[in-house]
Amino acid sequence: MRFTAIAFAVSTVACLLPSPVLATSSCFQACEALEAELPGKVSHPNSTQYAASNTYWSRRQSEVLPACFLLPRTTEDVSTALRILTAHNAPFNVKAGGHSTFPSASNIQDGVTVDLSRMNEVSLAQDRASVSVGAGARWSDISRVLDPLRLAVVGGRVNEVGVAGLTLGGGISYLSGRHGWACDNVRNYRVVLASGEAVDANPDENRDLYHAFRGGGGASFGLVTRFDLDVFQQGDIWLHNAIFPGAVNASVVDAFAHLVRDGLATDPDAHSFLVLTHVPQLGGFVILLYLYHLTQATRPAGSYPALYEAFPKLQGAIVNETIVANTSTHGDLLSEPGGIRKTWWDTTFSARDPALFHDLVARWETHALEMVALAEAHGAAVATPLMAMQPISTNIIEAMQKNGGNSLGLKVEDGPLVLVSTPMAWDVPDMDDIVEESTEALIRDMERTAGEKGLLHGFKYMNYAGPGQDVFESYGEESLARLRETAEKYDPEGHLDTLWRGYFQVR
Ligand SMILES: Cc1cc2nc3c(=O)[nH]c(=O)nc-3n(C[C@H](O)[C@H](O)[C@H](O)COP(=O)(O)OP(=O)(O)OC[C@H]3O[C@@H](n4cnc5c(N)ncnc54)[C@H](O)[C@@H]3O)c2cc1C
Ligand SMILES: *[C@@H]1O[C@H](CO)[C@@H](O)[C@H](O)[C@H]1NC(C)=O
Ligand SMILES: *[C@@H]1O[C@H](CO)[C@@H](O)[C@H](O)[C@H]1NC(C)=O
Ligand SMILES: *[C@@H]1O[C@H](CO)[C@@H](O)[C@H](O)[C@H]1NC(C)=O
Ligand SMILES: *[C@@H]1O[C@H](CO)[C@@H](O)[C@H](O)[C@H]1NC(C)=O
């Protein structure tokens, strides 16, 4: 992987000219050229539209200031834009839902940021088997249309997150136990290549590009302008949600570890994850348990899916509730406010040995206390470390193999797996570097611990990866080689590689 944000931060603006003064003016020239060809679609600093476009979930991204934003409305606009940007050698980035965390992940200092928010149309096919979604849509744009019809896509779990970023990196969904990740349920990608040409990628046309978009991100291959997503029957989703004090972590973590190892693959309608965090108002460490089920809502109220039977027996929950609701409502319940500083890092372990889960929790708790102390020393008002454990059970990996499989490199025989991410929210810029360094060290420490026991898998999920993590290397040599070949084929001159900066790229 080549991670461009770090290099970019050091060398400040480029626009690929030697002098920084000229460089900025070249980016402004690109903005002017865009304005000339796409009038009314460019927003300049200090305009209301610029401020609206420069709103991101992570405050660190809003502090990045592009020379201008471009707001295309159509695939043709995007073609025109890519032709102009490459002709001007103008560095750019693309924003869909703006929910990536690190600075310049979907924004670019002094470059051009393409804001897709005006391309958010959602159109259900007449046969109701698929839905066409503009690349600037959020998940709630889809559930608003599908919920009343008792239909759903394999999509994100939180309303305001972008369809494009989530789907291009993989996409963990309520429906994943049955259908794999979001990227495995895209019928067609409409995409503008580096040349400005618009093409389709699906199981019949441009198959290599279709395979690449299933987990390979956008920046190496092209700008997706529309996703055609499979649609499934889906009534209300059942959720059992409980909050436990950290002191009972042994029993809760154990029940969860056994669920991941032995339970989930027995019931593809089940979906679950566990989150640990630190909330001073609740006395310190707490554990949030989420047990979802796609069809339990059709069974008698008060009954419990068999695979979750260990959980009602757990003692000591602070909160304990069952919620039956549509996807829009669930997407609100999980919503997390933006506007503060965020990061996350991740890696993946074999879930064969429940003892490992306890080791990982103990290591995270030590790290979390360090982060809380650090925040206190910095006078921070917000310091929320988290650890999320998301199962990748074998049924999910099996479902990923349909239509030629995705590019994530996960093999059924490696499962069951558990994806561990360690996000953090804070509000003092002085803490940025040390939070990143400590979180990186935590992940390495967890990997070392698991490695000694032969339980390290090492898959890094792009959508929760920290800056500079070796996402594509973690897909395995075979997948990486294939992705590089595809990038080379569809962008032979390497325009995207040099100009589309800030996020994960295969070359
Ligand atoms: C509150 C919250 C909930 C989440 N829930 C889930 C979840 O349930 N499941 C899950 O898997 N992940 C989840 N995530 C992680 C999420 O998948 C990533 O944050 C993802 O990057 C968000 O996509 P976005 O479009 O909002 O991000 P953006 O920051 O807009 O984009 C991310 C990257 O994708 C690129 N990109 C965007 N649009 C395009 C395009 N059209 N063509 C090519 N490249 C493009 C951007 O350039 C950028 O580099 C969640 C994140 C948050 C903050
Ligand atoms: C935007 O406003 C700030 C503060 O008001 C000012 O310093 C800056 O020069 C303005 N930028 C542009 C491009 O007008
Ligand atoms: C989802 O359910 C809630 C609560 O019943 C309801 O108010 C809302 O209209 C539903 N949303 C959609 C999009 O159907
Ligand atoms: C979690 O459980 C372990 C083992 O029982 C215990 O040592 C630790 O203190 C617990 N964590 C918290 C926050 O109570
Ligand atoms: C939740 O509450 C129900 C009913 O009060 C109880 O039977 C169950 O054991 C509780 N579950 C947890 C996880 O606390």
Q: Per-10-residue mean pLDDT for the chain, 507 residues long? A: 36 44 67 97 97 98 97 98 96 98 97 98 98 98 98 98 98 98 98 98 98 98 98 98 96 98 98 97 96 96 94 94 97 95 98 98 98 96 97 98 97 98 97 98 98 98 97 98 98 97 95
Of 320, 321, 323, the one to substitute when testing ligand 5's pocket (max ligand atoms within 8 A of C-beta) is 320
DSSP one-letter code for 466: P
pLDDT at 507 (0 to 100): 87
- Beta strand segments in 27-161, E: 42-43, 68-70, 92-95, 112-115, 122-124, 130-134, 151-152
Would you state the pLDDT for residue 28? 79
- Decide: 69 in ligand 4 pocket, CB within 6 A: no
Cα 328 to averaged position of ligand 3 atoms, centre (Å): 7
Residue nearest to atom 6 of ligand 2 (CA): 46
Q: Identify the pLDDT of residue 25.
A: 61
Ligand 1 shell residues, CB under 6 Å: 57, 93-100, 105-106, 116, 135, 156-158, 161-162, 164-166, 168-172, 218-219, 223-224, 336, 463, 503
SS3 category, 241: strand
Gap between the Cα atoms of 172 and 399, Å rounded: 12
Distance 181 CA to ligand 3 centre (A): 25
CA of 172 to the centre of ligand 2 (A): 41
Measure 67 CA to ligand 2 centroid, in angstroms: 12
> Which of 27, 32, 46, 69 for a ligand 2 pocket mutation test, highest count of atoms within 8 Å of Cβ?
46
Counting ligands in written order, the one closest to the CA of 324 is 3
Tokens (6 digits) for 215: 């987990």
Q: Is 74 exposed, middle or buried (0-12, 13-18, 19+ CB in 10 A)?
A: middle
Peptide bond into 416 cis (omega under 30): yes
The CA distances from residue 59 to 38, 46, 52, 118, 428, in Å, are: 29, 18, 13, 22, 11
Q: What is the dihedral of CA 486, 491, 495, 500, to 10 degrees?
A: -50
In ligand 5, the atom with minimum distance to the C-alpha of 289 is 13
Determine the Cα–Cα distance for residues 24 and 22; give it in Å rounded to an integer. Answer: 6
Q: Which of 479, 358, 349, 473 is nearest to 421 (CA)?
A: 349
In angstroms, rounded to a whole number, what is the distance separating the alpha carbons of residues 469 and 169? Answer: 14
Alpha-carbon distance values, 271 to 158, 173, 204, 276, 291 (Å): 15, 8, 31, 17, 6
Ligand 2 touching residue 51 (CB < 6 A): no
Cβ(45) to ligand 2 under 6 A? Answer: yes
Residue 143 backbone phi and psi in degrees, to 5: -65, -30
Ligand nearest to the CA of 246: 4
Q: Which ligand has the nearest atom to the CA of 47?
A: 2
Q: How many angstroms separate the alpha carbon of residue 95 from the centre of ligand 1?
A: 9
Residue 482 main-chain phi, psi, to 5 deg: -65, -40
The single-letter DSSP state of residue 219 is T
Measured in Å, residue 459 CA sits from the centre of ligand 2 at 43
User: Is 176 in contact with 399 (CB distance < 8 Å)?
Assistant: yes
Return the bridge partners of 188, or none: 228
The sign of the torsion formed by the CA atoms of 278, 282, 285, 287 equals negative
Closest CA to ligand 4's atom 1: 249
- The per-residue pLDDT for 302 is 86
pLDDT at position 481, please?
Answer: 98
Cβ neighbourhood burial of 358 (10 Å; 0-12, 13-18, 19+): middle
Of all protein residues, the one whose alpha carbon is nearest to atom 1 of ligand 1 is 336
Would you state the pLDDT for residue 19? 43
In angstroms, the CA 182 to CA 175 distance is 9
How far is the C-alpha of 231 from the C-alpha of 131, rounded, in Å?
7
Pocket test for ligand 1, best of 100, 185, 334, 462 (most atoms within 8 A of CB): 100
Distance 286 CA to ligand 5 centre (A): 17
Q: Taking the CA atoms of the chain, what radius of gyration do you get in angstroms?
A: 22
Nearest ligand to the C-alpha atom of residue 421: 1
